[in-house]
Amino acid sequence: MISLDRNNPLDILLENLFDYAGMFPPAALPFEDALRESARLPAVLMRPWLLSSDIVLDVAHARKLLSLDLAEFGFSRPLSLCLLATAGADETSQLADGLVARGIRLSSIEATSSPGSCNSTASSLVPIAAKHSALLAIEPLLSQQEWRTSLGEAVSACRNSPNVALKCRCTGPTGIGAERLSSALCAAADVNIPFKVTGGFHHPIVEPGRHPYPMGFLNLTVAVMLRRALGPAAPEGALASLLANSSVATFSLERGVSALSFSLPLEGLREARSRAHFSIGSCSLSEPDADLARLFPS
């Protein structure tokens, strides 16, 4: 096990970075298997502090938690849950109350939003999230032609209430690529709102011979921190290139973080990381853990 060092730039970047989404593709584990895997992660990961939230579940599967003895699945700690709001606000609210009454911590409530509905989606769910001190994450549709309008609507909705995040999806039918993700991360960073990304971020950098994914989680995390700290001096185009970076040598992590022509000292990196919530939903933590050990041997 590798101990967390909050003076290590890599550890600052990675601490509590991942929400475990083992039921979702490509892992697509059955519900019970995903629970068991989540329970064992702190004991089997070399960097157990990569984990932020224990599991991501939709309403139907989260409801099953109300009647389960989580100790039977290996949990000796309170479970933290990212709840996908796949039902109406009333049903989501009742479920949230029941889960919290069972000792489950709601890390976030997350909802997709169609064009023109970001404000109404946010207003219906903000009271539920606030009641349980949870993050609310709004995922606009950024894969369609009018994506800039949808992004603007979502950012505006996030700014109207505290602790509301912009969420982006990067795989599947509504997934976006590096250029749109770069625009989204810049929009979130520039107004200091929380940010979450999901889909295809199992690996730190792009490695075509090892995996098919066109972006990396270390690339993404560094890009977010650079934009938070440097603003437009770290422009969208350069950050889009960084998202697709395929060389670990791009990064210097000696006394802060440097990538391409940009750099942050240690204190600037700490400030950027703490400024607002940032997390990545991933169906695997074993892959990120193993890749980090290979690419950054201690």
Q: How far is CA 249 from CA 12, 178, 205, 253, in A?
A: 19, 20, 10, 10
pLDDT tens-place string over residues 146-194: 999 999 999 999 998 999 999 999 999 999 999 999 999 999 999 999 9
**Alpha carbon distance 186, 148 (integer Å):** 12
The predicted structure's pLDDT at residue 298: 73
Helices 147-159/178-190 angle, 10° precision: 30
Regions of the chain with pLDDT less than 50: none
**Is the overall model pTM greater than 0.85, yes or no?**
yes
Three-state SS string over 269-298 comes to HHHHHHHCCEEEEECCCHHHHHHHHHHCCC
Query: Can the peptide bond before residue 288 be classed as cis, meaning omega within 30 degrees of 0?
Result: no
**Alpha carbon distance 215, 185 (integer Å):** 14
The predicted structure's pLDDT at residue 10: 98
Domain residue ranges of the chain, discontinuous segments joined by +:
9-295
CB neighbours of 181 closer than 8 A, spacing ≥ 6? 168, 170, 197, 215, 220, 240, 243
* Sign of the dihedral through C-alpha 9, 11, 12, 18: positive
User: Under CATH, what is the fold of the domain 9-295?
Assistant: TIM Barrel (3.20.20)
Closest CA to 176 of 208, 144, 149: 144
Q: Whole-angstrom distance between the N-terminal and C-terminal Cα of the chain?
A: 11
Count other Cβ atoms within 10 Å, centred on residue 246. 13
The predicted structure's pLDDT at residue 54: 98
